Amino acid sequence: MHPPSRQRARLGGRASLVTSALVLGVLYAGSPLVTPLYPLYQRAFGLSELTVTLIYAAYVIGNLGALFAFGRASDRAGRRFVSLFVLAVAIVSTLLFLFATHPAWLYVARAASGLAIGVGAATATAWIAELHPSNDKAAPSRLAAAVNLVGLAAGALVAGLLAQFAPWPLRTVFVVYGLVIVGTAALTVFARETVDQPKHRLADLSIEPRIGVPSRLWFPFIAPAVTAFATFALLGFYAALLPNLLANSMHQHSPALSGAVVAELFAVSTVTVLVTGALAARAAMSTGLWLLPPSLALLLWAQIDQSMTWLVAATALCGIATALGFRGSLQEVNGMAPAGQRAELLSAYLLCCYTGNSLPAVGVALLSRSVGHLWANVTFAAVSVVLALIALTVSGRHMQRAA
């Protein structure tokens, strides 16, 4: 028999599933929230492009903290409890952005946001899988991926529109987002817990990191790991550097436009995930890798030609490539992971995702200071193409060995 507090919190399965999906979507909406605001912060605080990119990279520090210290916390403490905790951290991050008077506030706010999303994504994704009524194991994964991408698209689009058309562009968006978080937390209080006998004492929680790749899986792990790094590098490029690309190459300074282009990337990715469910994991991963070179070529051509039309086309192709690369590589890792070492292998995979999301963007920002924006982006594209070819080659060799 369940404790009375748990009985009072219990909602229907469908309502709890919707709530868990809402937690995931709302948390991810906070990730691109500041992308359209970067040029405004540059003017308000006198920041360089490199400083803006480092502020973006602080988000990944929070992600890594989540991965190393708190990735498995909800297995012990419960999905609902940890979800409420990360929503509280997201509120703190939002308040830091709202009242920021110095660039240091932005670093702390981004790191807190990364921590909330890193822990919350793992928690909400597991919660969705446990609440989903389908016997098809892939259905909860597709739902989580779609909610993830919808949240990213909505966050970028709404932030850009509010920054462009609402008063106090560096404040209004965070007031609105804070209210959404509070509403989500209110629903979460009443959602169904799926962890039996959750423990809330710190001594009962395991925070020891579990990251590793079994020796026999090193070779097959290379292709999805490199795919994840290259895929998230492209996402990081859009999230951190797109506003500067628009301003420097196309003389477009509209926050709404920046938000709309980033939202297009995630919206196309969402549709791609939904319509390619029948595509096998390796086929999805390989298709995403083959699409990376033309995606990057279109992106460079848009910059050279200073054409918004080409940028829209490039963004759509990038959205397809990243969606297939991410979904396929994640499914490959899930498929090869031994039951007793799944957490370690997935953590190693996520480490590739997070480093890919930040390091290349910082590298481009540093390089652009000496060779200019165009050649820095050309270098980024060339390295990404090399990584895609490495992943395709290793994947092909692995298939030959398996055969």
The band of 65, judged by pLDDT with boundaries at 50, 70 and 90, is confident
Range in 121-125, 205-209, 352-356, 381-385 the model is least confident about: 205-209
- Asked if 268 contacts 323 with a C-beta cutoff of 8 angstroms, the reply is yes
Give the model confidence (pLDDT) of 286-323 as tens digits: 999 999 999 999 999 999 999 999 999 999 999 999 99
What would be the CATH architecture of the domain defined by 215-403? Up-down Bundle (1.20)
* Superfamily name with CATH number, domain 1-198: MFS general substrate transporter like domains (1.20.1250.20)
Q: What is the mean pLDDT of residues 38-61?
A: 90
pLDDT at 8 over 60: no
Say yes or no to pLDDT of 280 above 90: no
Gap between the Cα atoms of 83 and 21, Å rounded? 11
Q: Give yes or no for residue 6 having a pLDDT over 80.
A: no
Structure tokens given for 394: 């290793």
Residue appearing with tokens 């909860």: 140
Q: Residue 356: pLDDT above 80?
A: yes
Q: 210 by DSSP, 3-state: which?
A: coil
- pLDDT value, residue 202: 58
For tokens 């446990």, name the residue: 130
| Domain residue extents for the chain | 1-198, 215-403
* Euclidean distance between the first and the last CA atom of the chain, given in angstroms as a whole number: 52
Residue in 287, 352, 293, 350 with CA at minimum distance from that of residue 320: 287
- Tens-digit pLDDT profile for residues 184-202: 999 999 998 887 777 666 5
DSSP output for 230-292: HHHHHHHHHHHHHHHHHHHHS----HHHHHHHHHHHHHHHHHHHHHTTTS-HHHHHHHHHHHH
State how far the Cα of 216 lies from the Cα of 219, in Å rounded to an integer. 7
- Per CATH, 1-198 and 215-403 having the same topology is answered yes
Section 333-354 average pLDDT: 76
pLDDT at residue 343 in the model = 59
Q: Which amino acid is at 320?
A: I
Q: Find the mean pLDDT for residues 55-68.
A: 85
| SS3 assignment for 21-35 | HHHHHHHHHCCCCCH
pLDDT computed for residue 333 by the predictor: 84
